[in-house]
Chain A
Amino acid sequence: MGAHHKVSVDKEERYEFTAAAKKRILTWMGVGIVMTVIGIAMLALGIGEGKHEAAGAGHGAATHASATENHSTANAHSEANGTKTEAHTGAEHADVKADAHGATAHAEAGHATDAHAEKGHAAAAEHGGGHHEFHWTTRLWADLWHNAVFFTGIAIIGVFFVAVQYLAYAGWSAGIKRVPEAFGMFLPIGAGIMLVVFGLGHHDLFHWTHEGITDPTAANYDKIIAGKSWYLNLPFYLTRMVAFFGLWMLYYSIIRKNSLAEDLEGGTARWKKLVYFSSGFIVIFAVSSSMAAWDWVMSIDPHWFSTLFGWYTFASWHVSGLACITLTVILLKERGYLKHVNMSTVHDLGKFMFAFSVFWAYLWTSQFLLYYYANIPEEVIYYIERRDGFDGKYTALFFLNVIINFAFPFLFLMTRDSKRQIIFLKIAAIAILAGHWLDFYLMIMPGVTKGNSGFGFLEFGLVLTFVCLFIYVISNTLSKQRLTAINHPMLEESLHHDI
């Protein structure tokens, strides 16, 4: 409003995905794949693995020791001696545990024998072989799962963003709508990768999928997992996974179809339809995103649970998605596309990144603080593993997570000017994307690989592959249709967006 000069939209503007750009992305993807293969070869041959080489027994002992130590820290004990702490812990929590949690209390508090059985590091007999020591494939599955969950999350957040704009009757975003809309095209690929990785790697990724774990007569019987087996069982889990992807892709295809039809038809009929379907999608996504977070991330630590974990994961996905939208929009603008998108719109995207970084920090704190205060062993183990477990393997990452995902964007994007400078937004968006990738790393790795994760050829290769794949799919989608929803009823409003 207000501006009296006319802003024109290039109605036929399309992203030109040149052969050179394709070649460049595919070359980098090739580099990523080669790095991944080198990483796999190194792991398989045992090159550069370092510390945890000490074989099965040694590793089991190490885990046990660190868990015990952590527990003593949490309870503000100073005893360094393992046995002593153990005795103390047992006594202190005897009443809290009662009988129902007896077995777990022992295991999770780091009790010697049970902890071994629990963590699957005990003698081969316990699990009928195959789990007596860490196998490198676990790390491969964990890395694949981590990237697949992260990038699929960004894809679905693109659809969610579009739906939110329709539900809120938002006008400001009409000019950039096609960018988040394109993210949805990655959904089928992400879903495919996740289903394949789950199919091949579920035994390594999810402890609750083990044979006999719900059978009271089996050696590895786990009372707590058995209690959750009505929800955590393979058929139901797979049904949910397929249903979520199915629903998300169904709604995405409806939104996409109507949005493209609007370009040709004009009028407000399609817009009304889009509001209707977006509302439906948001109701479904509210439930399914939480459940997906429990299934895909939280069930890696099947004894542990957090009631706001769904929201926490959603917040991480959402802010990554917003950073990705911002980054795509400014990269397109830098290349001369989307000239009609003014700096006020970009400013608003920056505000979104800022706001949802704070939102993520709010949920991080809410989740952490309750466990910190209550200090109940089976709950606090999640944070102990991450803050100082596994000989402090994740300590730096644990604090870096809060700094890069909260302190940095909070201070960096605080002023108005910073949200109007392309270079500031670029730095912030890349930091947020890297930061939340690490956030997911921290959610998944300690649970799956314990202390055996790492940052090597495999990790960097895989993330490079995924980034290139994602960029390729998005660029390809953007090149297929108009870059602007030319008949969006609020396009004119977005052109004059002024804040």
Chain B
Amino acid sequence: MSATTSTNYLVGVFEDDDVLMNAVRKVREQGVKIYECFTPFPIHGMEDAMGIKRSRLPRAAFMFGATGTTFAITMITLMMGFDWPMNIGGKPFAAPPVYIPVTFELTVLFAALGMVGTFLVVSGLGPGSNKLVLDPRFSDDKFIMAIDLGSNKNLDPAKITELLKSLGASEVNTKEVSE
């Protein structure tokens, strides 16, 4: 018997990336919290404008890469040195130079797969996930700025709408999303 909760979003539609970026700066200066921007292509400098912190993905990538390196070296040493030693051209059984290609490949593989996996988990983009699409036109030619009214309770929605319009939004819609 739980009551259905719903969130109200204010969706500003812009026609140009530069206009959107400028609007994002101005809107934040007014103390409005932006939920998210949806754009047809990545916009350079948008993270800064929206005040998004830098991703920690590179650190994860490094850890995955280091895991790959360790895995490769351990695997080759165990295989070539202990499990099945073979005399190849009179080289030592476990000879470091022959490690290089496999170690390189596994480092890259672990880092790449680990990064993709981490990204999917952190962004909640796993299989079956259903992400909020507030205005499908963002995958075509519109630049969308979404404002969660729930987190801007102290501000009047009409004022925000006016602000967005004055900053170049071609339309501002309200969208209710039930959870």
Contacts and interface: CB of A to CB of B under 8 A. Distances in A.
A373 B100 CA distance: 13
Contact of A416 (B22, B45, B58, B97): B58
Residue of B21, B54, B89 ringed by the most chain A CB atoms within 10 A: B89
Interface residues of A, number: 18
B62 A414 contact: yes
Interface in A476-499: 498-499
Nearest to A415: B58
Contacts, number: 42
A120 to B, nearest CB: 31
A372 B97 contact: yes
Interface in A407-422: 414-416
Contact of A2 (B46, B54, B88, B91): B46
Nearest to A1: B44
Interface residues of B, number: 20
Nearest to A77: B90
B24 to A, nearest CB: 10
B97 A3 contact: no
Contacts of B98: 369, 372-373
Interface string B55-97: 0001000100000000000000000000000001111100001
B63 to A, nearest CB: 13
Contacts of A369: 97-98, 100-101
Interface in A70-85: 75-76
A2 B97 contact: no
Contacts of A424: none
Nearest to A74: B90
B100 A2 contact: no
A98 to B, nearest CB: 20
A76 B43 contact: no
Contact of B90 (A76, A365, A415): A76
B171 interface: no
A375 B89 CA distance: 8
B58 A2 contact: no
Interface of B: 18, 21-22, 43-46, 49, 54, 58, 62, 88-92, 97-98, 100-101
In the A-B complex, the 8 residue pairs with the smallest Cβ-Cβ separation, listed nearest first, are A2-B45, A76-B90, A498-B44, A2-B44, A372-B97, A1-B44, A498-B45, A365-B100
